[in-house]
Structure 1
Amino acid sequence: MSSKKRILFIATEISPFLELTEFSEILNSLAIKSNENDFEVRCIMPRYGVINERRHKLHEVVRLSGINVSVDNDDYPLQIKVSSLPNARLQVYFLDNDEFFKRKFIFRDENEEWFEDNGLRSVFFCKGALETVKKFGWPPDIIHCSGWMTALIPMYIKTAYKKEPVFSNCKVVYSIGGETFDETLEKDFIRQANIHAAIKPKDLEPYKKGDYESIIKGGAVNSDAIAFATENIDEKIVKELSKTRGKKILKFQGYDSDLTEYFELFNELVP
């Protein structure tokens, strides 16, 4: 049995598959360097319709597909595809569903109109990612979440998935990158996000407003560590979250960092 620490990256974007912000390249480097620094690494992200399956050599993982993800009393089929980071023996798993990710746009349509189901897409992705890890049977020591689409995962780990053996000993890092939005998630978002009886109103409270600031704060306060991954974060948010008790805080070290600070954080969380 491998003695390597296991780290799972769950991300909105990872270069070269999707590059919304500079953080996609940092994640690419962080995953590869983690792999080179004796971590066992896996990555999960959405299979947005803009990702070219032929160019990136995606193929379906039949043994993992076939999961139905139940959200808001509806079942949605989850298809899982896989590719590798270029120049690295490192697998990236893509979560796909025709209703949520087949469209050839990410969060806005061709007229730059915000998709009315972005909140539901986020719930599906977060729950789908955790169900995929259960099917892996691969207990991570660290889950590194990045992007607002992943913000429910730290809360789900503490509530709905608290008693799942695969997550029983993991620590969660939440990275706040450069991607933002000015809109508000749909009014049903909080109800949709309540995927399990173990989730109480107080657990959903940080996310209640449904705006960008509330969503990332929800992800941050439910994590074991917060990483500021860009200089373009509202100073008010940085100051507020930096005062959060019981959290390890990783300040932004610049885009030319060698990422040593992340490995120090990972090893501090899981000695």
Structure 2
Amino acid sequence: MNGKKILFVSSELVPYLPENPVSLMSYEAPRMVNSRGGQIRIFMPRYGNINERRHQLHEVIRLSGMNLVINDMDMPLIIKVASIPRERIQVYFIDNEEYFKRKATFADENGNLFPDNDERAIFFAKGVVETVKKLNWSPDIIHIHGWMASLLPLYLREYYADEPLFADSRIVTSIYGVGFDGSLSPGMKEKIAFDQIPGTSIEKLDPPSYNNLLKIAADYSDAVILAADEIPEELQEYVANLQKPVLPYVPFQEFEEAYANFYSTEVLKK
């Protein structure tokens, strides 16, 4: 991994949110690459339940200030950063008052998914790409973790198809067993289509369920990692029929060698 540039884009990340399979691996995979001489950037949403004072988040004025158009609405993009001290890893947070100020991640106190989770996912995908463009940092690999990040492969390959910074980037999506019940807003397809993304590319988002979001992510990725021991059977069968590299589940204790080898021998091969 020496010298390789890897962009990690995640729904959740320890130590900023509670530990679960997604948040833990979103930390451990970058730590592994960092320890092996790779260059990394990590992006996640700045949810309102992240303690900014304790984790010393601060706004990066030079990266903030643009508006992203979401379903014909101008939404200000704010970029904040923090460092994971013991690893010297910097994390970039995608923020917007309307989408991420509330004191929760994906659902309200009654467990109901936020009705604008679809727009939050679109905003997150666009915000990551626009910020990386400002950084002028061309990643060799872009590794996706968690469903809130699942639209990024689609947007990179369709909306940002002509962006030279990502022309040679390889996309990897990790699929976890942790998802959500039900589906996101039934208007999600129309909101994505507003960005001139062909309807044929998002037919599977009917409805926009967890499984269907991850199918879209897998479709637009160059490789897939099965990151949990128990993954919905529908997703397992779908991934098994893809004509692209797939890393089967490996126990946490064995992931470092498996991921590093997969990156080098499968993801980066031309």
State the partner residue of 2:204: 206
Contact 2:22 2:145 in 1 (8 A): no
Task: Report the counterpart of residue 96 of structure 1 in structure 2.
Answer: 95
CA RMSD of superposed structures (Å): 1.4
2:252 is aligned with 1:252: no
Instruction: Quote the Cα distance in structure 2 between the aligned partners of 1:45 and 1:149.
Output: 9
TM-score, with normalisation over the residues of structure 1?
A: 0.94
Q: Which residue of 2 aligns with 1:222?
A: 220
Deviation string, structure 1 residues 91-137 (Cα, Å, up to 9, x no partner) = 10001111000000111112222211111111111111111111111
> Quick one: which amino acid aligns to residue 132 of structure 1?
T
Measured after TM superposition, the shift of residue 185 of structure 1 is 1.0
Cα deviation 1:39-81 (Å, max 9, x = unaligned): 1100000000110011111111111011211111111001100
Does the 8 Å contact 1:160/1:195 carry over to 2?
Answer: no
Alignment of 1:1-271 (within 5 A): 4-19=3-18, 21-197=20-196, 199-245=197-243, 247-268=244-265, 269-271=267-269
TM-score, normalised by the number of residues in structure 2: 0.94
Specify the code of the residue in structure 1 equivalent to 2:232.
D
CA contact (8 A) 1:85 1:91 kept: yes
What code does the residue aligned with 1:120 have? Answer: E
**Superposition deviation, residue 195 in structure 1:** 5.0
Identity of aligned residues (%): 39
Partners of 2:21 and 2:184 in 1: how far apart?
24
Counterpart residue type for residue 108 of structure 2: D
User: CA deviation digits over 1:141-180, x for unaligned, max 9?
Assistant: 1100111111111111111111101111100000012321
Q: Which amino acid aligns with 2:250?
A: Q
How far apart are 1:23 and its partner, in Å? 2.9
Check whether the contact 2:12–2:146 (CA below 8 A) recurs between aligned residues.
yes
SS of the residue corresponding to residue 25 of structure 1 reads: helix
- Residues 166-199 of structure 1 show CA distances to partners (whole Å, capped at 9, x for unaligned) of 11110000001232111211121111123533x2
Give the aligned length.
Answer: 267
Task: State the shift of 1:29 in Å.
Answer: 1.5
Instruction: For structure 2, list consecutive stretches of 5 or more residues without a partner in the other structure.
Output: none
State the distance in 1 between where 2:205 and 2:253 align. Answer: 33
The Cα shift of 1:28 comes to 1.1
Deviation of residue 22 (structure 1)?
2.3
> Is the contact between residue 21 and residue 178 of structure 1 (CA under 8 Å) also seen in structure 2?
no
- What is the distance in 1 between the residues matched to 2:111 and 2:234? 28
2:177·2:232 contact (CA, 8 Å) conserved in 1? Answer: no
Shift of 1:244: 0.7
